[in-house]
Amino acid sequence: MVNEQSRQDDRRIDQPDGQVNDRQTEQPDAPAAGEQKAEALKTGEQAAGSQENGGQQEGTQQGDRPQDGQTDEQERYQKPPRRRRFGDRPDGYKVRTINPMNKFMPYVMPMRCDACNTYADMFDVTKTDRFCREKARQGKANFSFLHVMLAAYIRAISQRPALNRFISGQKIYARNNIQIVMTVKKTLSLDSPDTCIKVEFNPDDTIDEVYEKFNAVVTEIQSRPDEKSEFDKLNKVLTRIPGLLCRWTVKFLNFLDYFGWLPKSLLQLSPFHGSMIITSMGSLGIRPIYHHIYNFGNLPVFIAYGGRRAVVCCDKDGKASVKKYIEMKAVTDERICDGFYYASAFKIIKRHVENPELLEKRPEQVFEDID
């Protein structure tokens, strides 16, 4: 865990009224009443004089966040250094202290398609739509539900880090970073080619930072529709390989990936390696589907969401009202964590999607996965 106080006072004394004062230390001789009053006045003056100099340091220790959207770099989450050990991969470290039963499950279900669980939910987007319109008025062009969904998923990872695990070579790994994969069109036309993007985030990113990072990558791709991205270049090279030889090429890449020997540069380009892949069915005018996850690579979660639907709801008094909802369907790899853990993570996602103002602040704590 981070953002905890690094120092605590070890000694506390009881006051006459039963309260505890942890900023003073016990004196051997109690002063007289007049001396106590004078000492209190002197202490108050000293505290007022040192407030300007020490306020910032105390605020940092207490975990206070800057106001008005300002970011203090000292407040940012710093991933603790970790020495790479035998068995770790370029994109994650091996989880060694996990439950023995969980260690055994990848051998019972060796392929990702063996371990698929499906989950469906609906989000009340009444407040979310209002939030998105307000962000658009603030100058954030094309701010949409997608950015809220991404920020909510990243916030869930910050609180439930096992959501960012993956299976490779029948071993469970904790990913070193958060990478979201998505397929986008280079231009808004029917004949426009698709390309895959991969955006990296920090676990304590606010929704504004998620918007900026994601849009920066999309804008770069769409600003040069005639130029091929690095992913497109790699895809073109692979498609030039003859069919039978291409099958053996994929098997060879699978072999390298099994042992964690794929080059880091290839892992960065691969759309099959990441924390989560997401797609919008609403842009196609249909309801979301349960999209499969791939055996190739190590993506553990595939999320699809649809367009807005008007739903008639009844409150506790039986009064009917019409609300807008967005459906979400997810396919998950059940081997990375148990169902209770998944349920807890999806509850966090739902709470933040329906209350997006929570995403404007950094999380109070960012939790690290077990070793």
Could you tell me if residue 69 is inside a domain? no
- The tens digit of pLDDT for each residue in 104-142 reads 999 999 999 999 999 999 999 999 999 999 999 999 999
- The confidence band for 189, taking pLDDT boundaries of 50, 70 and 90, is low
Could you tell me if residue 29 is inside a domain? no
Radius of gyration over every alpha carbon of the chain, rounded to an integer in angstroms: 26
Q: Is 225 left (phi over 0), alpha (psi -120 to 50) or beta?
A: alpha
Helix then strand then coil, in percent of the chain rounded to 5, is 40, 20, 40
- Pair of tokens at residue 197: 């993007």
Q: Identify the three-state secondary structure at position 171.
A: strand
Q: Please indicate whether residue 143 or residue 223 has the higher confidence score (pLDDT).
A: 143
Lowest mean pLDDT, pick from 8-22, 205-219, 282-296 = 8-22
For residues 97 and 83, the answer to whether their CB atoms sit within 8 Å is no
Could you tell me if residue 229 is inside a domain? yes
- The tens digit of pLDDT for each residue in 216-261 reads 999 888 888 777 878 888 888 888 888 889 999 999 999 999 999 9
Could you tell me if residue 141 is inside a domain? yes
Domain of 252 in residue numbering reads as: 90-360
Could you tell me if residue 325 is inside a domain? yes
Q: Tell me what percent of the residues of the chain surpass a pLDDT of 70.
A: 79
Residue 285 CA: distances (Å) to CA of 142, 149, 282:
18, 19, 5
CA distance 247 to 138: 50
Instruction: Return the pLDDT at 188.
Output: 65
Q: Please indicate whether residue 28 or residue 316 has the higher confidence score (pLDDT).
A: 316
Mean pLDDT of the chain: 82
- Pair of tokens at residue 276: 């989560």
- Pair of tokens at residue 29: 């001789």
CA distance 51 to 58: 9
CA distance 231 to 225: 14
CA distance 306 to 255: 36
- The confidence band for 186, taking pLDDT boundaries of 50, 70 and 90, is confident
- Pair of tokens at residue 141: 């062009």
Q: What is the mean pLDDT of the segment spanning 88-116?
A: 93
Q: Please indicate whether residue 341 or residue 5 has the higher confidence score (pLDDT).
A: 341
| Closest of 126, 130, 132, 127 to residue 148, by C-alpha | 132
Q: Which amino acid is at 371?
A: D
For residues 161 and 80, the answer to whether their CB atoms sit within 8 Å is no
Instruction: Return the pLDDT at 217.
Output: 93
Residue 44 has pLDDT above 60, yes or no: no
Residue 339 CA: distances (Å) to CA of 36, 99, 289, 346, 356:
60, 14, 21, 11, 25
Task: Work out the burial of residue 234: count CB atoms within 10 Å of its CB; fewer than 13 is exposed, 13-18 middle, 19 or more buried.
Answer: middle
Query: What's the total number of domains in the chain?
Result: 1
| Closest of 291, 287, 285 to residue 303, by C-alpha | 291
| Closest of 318, 370, 352 to residue 152, by C-alpha | 352
| Closest of 349, 346, 341, 344 to residue 102, by C-alpha | 341
DSSP 8-state assignment for residue 288: -
Could you tell me if residue 216 is inside a domain? yes
Identify the CATH number of the domain in which residue 205 sits. Answer: 3.30.559.10
